[in-house]
Amino acid sequence: MNKTLSGRSFVASYSGGKDSILAIYRAIKLGMKPDSLIITYNIDMDRSWFHGIPNDLLNEISASLGIPIKLIKTNGKDYAANFEKELKAQKENGVEVCVFGDIDLEEHLQWCTARCDAAGIEAFFPLWQENRKALVDEFIESGFTANIIVVDTDRLSERYLGMTLSPETVSSIVADGADACGENGEYHTFVSNGPLFKTPVSFCYGEQVKYGRYAILPIKKI
């Protein structure tokens, strides 16, 4: 156990996807204490940025995890400023660290670290520079359940929409020439169950939509 991290309170940058959940899981296993999860929420689309999770479903996730989820309601223009504002509020409440699920994209590391530096809070990347395939394998083997809800059709077929992330699905993704972990934006997932969840989060799909090259399977509360 990392003695410098054990017992420290943290907030996590949460997306609803596999990498952020695995990062949170690892932080908790290190002995860190989750204060809350923060998620950026698109005020124009009325759902979370990137993974498109509606607020009522986020409430269900929060109840199952037993961790408060706080929305950073923002448009694209004020995204960074609003993220920093929330981190500053978290620090005032005694939170010491912000956990991120980024793996090896340097641009993401710099952006997240800059936001934390501006707020006077420490950035922690539990998955940083680890093997992408090994991380997705760890996620699945740990017992988490995730479904693919967004696909970049320039990189991956939309036939993967709705698929459960399994060893077979990952092998197929790799065989199709995409990254196993989707770290290049090939796909995004929604995690609905696993060792951090008290009960599975029930959800259903809406009708598939297309935004530019992205095929999206909207999710909603049942």
Whether 196 and 119 map to the same domain: the answer is: no
- Residue ending a domain, among 71, 96, 124, is 124
Classify residue 138: in a domain, yes or no: no
Expressed as residue numbers, the domain containing 196 is 144-221
Residue 136 lies in a domain: no
Q: Which residue has the tokens 């796909």?
A: 187
| Statement to judge: residues 27 and 115 lie in one domain | yes
CATH number for the domain that contains residue 76: 3.40.50.620
How far apart CA 35 and CA 68 sit, in angstroms, is 7
Q: Can you give the pLDDT at residue 2?
A: 52
| pLDDT at residue 121, as a whole number | 96
Strands (E), the chain: 9-13, 33-42, 47-48, 69-74, 97-99, 122-124, 145-152, 187-193, 203-205, 209-211, 214-216, 219-221
Same domain, 94 and 20: yes
pLDDT at 1: 40
Residue 3 resides in a domain: no
Q: How far is CA 6 from CA 13, 127, 189, in A?
A: 19, 17, 29
Give the chain's domain count. Answer: 2
Residues contacting residue 168 through CB under 8 Å, at least 6 positions apart: none
Domain end position, chosen among 124, 158, 188: 124
Last residue of a domain, one of 95, 124, 153: 124
Q: Is residue 132 part of a domain?
A: no
Q: What pLDDT is recorded for position 3?
A: 54
Rounded to whole angstroms, the maximal C-alpha distance in the chain is 48
- pLDDT value for 93: 95
pLDDT given at position 92: 97
Residues 117 and 164 in one domain: no
Tell me, what's the pLDDT at 4? 85
- Report residues of the chain scoring pLDDT below 50: 1
The backbone torsions φ and ψ at residue 91, rounded to the nearest 5 degrees and listed phi first, read -60, -40
Query: Does some domain include residue 48?
Result: yes
Query: For the domain that residue 148 is a member of, what is the CATH number?
Result: 3.90.1490.10
In this predicted model, what pLDDT tens digit does every residue of 154-167 receive, in sequence order? Answer: 999 999 999 999 99
